Structures are given as structure tokens and as C-alpha cells.
Amino acid sequence: MKRIIRNSTIGILIFSLLIALCLPVSAQNKQAEPLRFNSDGSFTILQFTDTQDTHMPSPNMLSLLQRAMDTVQPDLVVFTGDQIKNYDSDFDGGGHRWKGKLTLDYILKPVVNRGIPFVITFGNHDAWFDDFTREDQLAYIQKYEGCLVFDEAPQITGCGNCSLQILSSESDAPAFNMFFLDSNQSIVEADQVEWYIGRSEELEQENDVRVLPAIEFQHIVPTNDNLIDAFAQRGDVFASFFGHHHYRSDSFNKKGIEFYYTPTSGFYEFGPGRDRGARVIKLYEDRPFELETYVLTFNDLFEDNPITDCRYMLFTVFELDDVTVMEVVTVISKAFLYFVKSTACKPRAALIEVLNFVGFDTSYYLKA
């Protein structure tokens, strides 16, 4: 039953998404523009983590990305690792390079379409491909408009370690900083910590001996005391954001620094049910060492109706385990009846609902 449902829906998904991938990206892009606080002094970051998908992506993952961005209207999108589910059976039989590229295409295209600059960090699963390494992935990702990540220190451990500044709303002076670190297979290594300290000191000197407020992103929760000690001693990084755990969305404080878990944004691996989602981070220029943050979940983004119930069951891993054929038929039937009623059989409304169901980006391509 699971294979029949997945194969039929994947056929529709691949057809619609291949059309989308062939269409030109016409959104105005922000790559040439530096990051800057808005005129009201705010700056919003949307963090996705652990999408863990394949070249045959979950429609729920694609829709979550699209709806979260449309809801939040962020100034920057950050992916904190495990973009690719390298251990999925979809990667059996080789072809890791083209499959990995297509996976990244599906994940990044909605961001590029909306003209939002983005950064990625790498996770433990992203590093498992011998023929599509982190360095290969970075080079491929950098071809996308709006990509801001770069390997600022190629001589140290990891890939994509870098820092990015947010300029003041009133001048070209940096007002805030963000560090992006590769946590490798478990931790940020000693040479990366030394690089962070040196870069932090450079930014302080460049800003007239003033510590530049900062936050930090990586994939795995920081557990090495030398990194946390460095944050505390330097006094710039006051918050760190990561994923990896899939379930957790809480935070803890250590040595005056707040550490935030973000739950998975993916649906092809274990997770916290309908509390999968994305983290919103709001910065304010006039409150440089403070922030506001919350998790926007699948439940928040999708209406509570039979169609949502149906898509969650069909496109989320493990949801069809121990479910009878009659239960699946019941859920699909309720969704169909709701579909007929809600669209009133109007062709455009019906088309948009069907395309939304399979993850097609109707808000961009159809301006729905």
C-alpha cells in the first residue's frame, strides 16, 4: 500500500516540479546587496534544518518551505545542515552526484524564486558522499543567485565556515554579525575555534574596538567547552542555533549564551509529528544583544482540514505503518469530499488545490 501510494504521488510530483525547475527564475535577487537592517530597525531570519530529503522530495517539505517564507517574509534564510538524506533507499544504485544536485535544486529553488538571500551549513549526513563532497555541494550551491555562504577559511577543518555582517539601517557600518560553522560529524574542532576567535578580534578592531554583537549557526548542538568558553570570553556571540535532534524546539543557557534547538523541517525522517517546522529569529538594531524567536510549525502553516490530514498521512515517513487499507481509504475519501466542497468544482481553484497537495509552488508560479 505504501509503495503504491508513494509511486503514484511521486509521478505527479516529479511532473509538476520538473516543469517548475525548467521555468526561469525571474524574482528580483538580493545577492548584490549587502545584508542590512530594515528602516524600522528589524531583521528577520528564517531557519530550516534537517530537511533530509532526496531527488524525489516530500511534498510536505516543499510546501512547508514555501508557506513559511510567504508567511514570515524573511530577510535571510539559513539552512543548518542535513539537507540531503544520504541514507535513503532513493540513493541506492549510485548516481549520488546528480541525485544530490537535484535534491538541492528542489530545496533551494523556492528561496531563489522569492529573491531571498540564503546561507547553508553542513550536517553530518551531507558529508557522507564520496562522489559529492561538502566542497562539491558548496561549489554547486554557490551557483544559485542569493547564495551568501563561502569558505572564508579553507585552511581549517570543515567547509563553509564564514561570517556575515548586517549593516546599519542608517549607514554602511556593520551593526551585527553572524558566524556559520561546520560542526563536522560531531563538533566544531579546535582550529575552527581559533579561527572564530581571530575573526571576532578582527571585527572588533574594524569597528573601532567595539565588540560586534553576533549569533552563531551550526548543525549539531555545541557540546565542546572550548567553543562555548570562546563565545563567553569574546562577548560577541550571545545565541547559537542548530538542529540535528529533529524533535526538540527548546533552549538552554550556558555561560550566559542561549542555545536553541530547531525541529526538523523534513518529512522523510523521524520527527515531532506535526510540530515539524522552522524557526523565526527577529533581530533589532536598537537592541543588539537581544532577539525574539519562535518555531513556526506544520500545524501553524496548514489549515486543520481533511486535505491536510491526508497529505500528512501520505507524505510523512512512518505514518502509513500499521495503518489498514480501510483507514487510508477513509482519510482519502474525506479529503476528496472536502476538496469538492471547498473548490466548488471551479477549475482554477481545483487546479491550485491539487498542485498545492503535491508540493508545486503555486504562490510563486501561479501567484495563488
Place of cell 524573511: 74
Question: How distant, in Å, are the alpha carbons of 7, 36, 137, 288 from that of 170?
Answer: 53, 9, 36, 15
CB atoms within 10 A of CB 340: 11
Look-up: residue for cell 537592517?
A: 37
Give me the tens of pLDDT residue by residue for the chain, a chain 368 residues long. 544 455 445 554 544 454 444 444 433 434 458 999 999 999 999 999 999 999 999 999 999 999 999 999 999 999 999 999 887 788 778 888 899 999 999 999 999 999 999 999 999 998 877 789 999 999 999 999 999 999 999 999 999 999 999 999 999 999 999 999 999 999 999 999 999 999 999 999 998 868 999 999 999 999 999 999 999 999 999 999 999 999 999 999 999 999 999 999 999 989 999 999 999 999 999 999 999 999 999 999 999 999 999 999 999 999 999 899 999 999 999 999 999 999 998 999 999 999 999 999 999 999 87
Spatial neighbors of 59 by CB under 8 A, at least 6 apart, are: 9, 13, 311, 315, 357, 358, 359
DSSP string, 69-85: HHHH--SEEEEES--B-
Amino acid at 40: D
Domains belonging to the chain, first-starting first, are: 2-301 (3.60.21.10)
Predicted TM-score of the model (pTM): 0.92
Cross-strand pairs, 166? 176
